[in-house]
Amino acid sequence: MEVTNGLNLKDTELRLGLPGAQEEQQLEVSCVRSNNKRKNNDSTEESAPPPAKTQIVGWPPVRSNRKNNNNKNVSYVKVSMDGAPYLRKIDLKMYKNYPELLKALENMFKFTVGEYSEREGYKGSGFVPTYEDKDGDWMLVGDVPWDMFSSSCQKLRIMKGSEAPTAL
């Protein structure tokens, strides 16, 4: 019988096992600290390393265009168009100059861009392509040389022509 501070703790001890099982067959869990420490049986036997975690092939799913994300030859920017219910993402490095980019945007959003002049911007169209640079300023596409544009462009927005002069 185990007595601590005048209390019989054997009666209040927790036991795991089926009711009615003999006491030797039950596993006992004691709330009383004992000085018996677990013996480390692993020191005499060689322990096997834990099994290696296997990654499920194809999980998590990665789209093929994002697998080589460290590739510096890509420069994705979001493209929005006033009145269009969706955004697109394009790689500026695929285009060599403004006419190629504008042609791709016309095909993507089904609109036409007018003639560009440095004084008057885009004439003859209901839409004006603009972009946001690294400083957060909105400018007309075509205002700066192509190399400067492709390195500083963060977003493209095709604005309605009536809104473009007041916004820029």
Segment 92-135, tens digit of pLDDT: 999 999 989 999 998 898 888 877 666 666 776 788 899 999 99
Using CA atoms, how far apart are residues 21 and 18, in angstroms rounded to an integer? 6
What structural domains does the chain harbor?
A: 76-160 (3.10.20.90)
33 Cβ neighbours under 8 A, 6+ residues apart: none
Report the chain's terminal Cα–Cα distance, integer Å.
91
What is the pLDDT, as a whole number, of residue 80?
93
CB contact at 8 A, 17 and 26: yes
CB contact at 8 A, 129 and 95: no
What's the DSSP call for residue 147? H
- In this prediction, residue 72 has a pLDDT band, given cuts at 50, 70 and 90, of low
Using CA atoms, how far apart are residues 127 and 105, in angstroms rounded to an integer? 11
159 Cβ neighbours under 8 A, 6+ residues apart: 82, 127, 128, 129, 130, 167
3-state helix, strand, coil in the chain (%, to 5): 20, 25, 55
Dihedral of alpha carbons 151, 157, 161, 167, sign: negative
Residues 146-158: pLDDT tens digits? Answer: 999 999 999 999 9
In 3D space, the residue among 93, 66, 57 whose CA is nearest the CA of residue 77 turns out to be 93
